[in-house]
Chain A
Amino acid sequence: SQTIHQWPATLVQPVGSPLSLECTVEGTSNPNLYWYRQAAGRGLQLLFYSVGIGQISSEVPQNLSASRPQDRQFILSSKKLLLSDSGFYLCAFNRDRPTNEQFFGPGTRLTVL
């Protein structure tokens, strides 16, 4: 079966510190991968997506970057966190075809102080 993992589950970081969130998918190959951010009480904002190893598309200019070093690994990073980076970060993948629904990981709740 196909599963998606994210860690850590929660994170509290000071302003200006680096960030690395990891997402891995099991049970599928060459998935499309996505990073979303959900601000409190708001919908999901697509940050990055990837259709293959090393292929990253950014949807919004920001303080974050993404990398896909392996087929089923997607990493969200920042060199220096801002207060506005606080939020709930969700990783997702498409199963089979891009037109299909997305399956989401459990999320990481990031608080920047």
Chain B
Amino acid sequence: SAVISQKPSRDICQRGTSLTIQCQVDSQVTMMFWYRQQPGQSLTLIATANQGSEATYESGFVIDKFPISRPNLTFSTLTVSNMSPEDSSIYLCSVRSGGAGDNEQFFGPGTRLTVL
């Protein structure tokens, strides 16, 4: 299994500002994923981040709003830019075990964001 940590665990931000969320994994992984979970909803994939290449964004999500960095195989950041109250969500980092194994997916503890 993979152990994933996220910073910050929660934050309250003002409209129009930006927040960068950090994700650290205890092992090297090829693929990292960023999800959003809006209040009372299930998880929605924002983007897939591979080391050494541009992140791949899902429909409805754009790089200007959610820029992602992936500088190495154990770390990634997601920035939520120009925030509005609609961005209030839990943001979750996730990784998938690689190789020829079962490809189980693991999640971090999440960052709870409230935008006023």
A binds B: no
- B interface with A by C-beta (< 8 Å): none
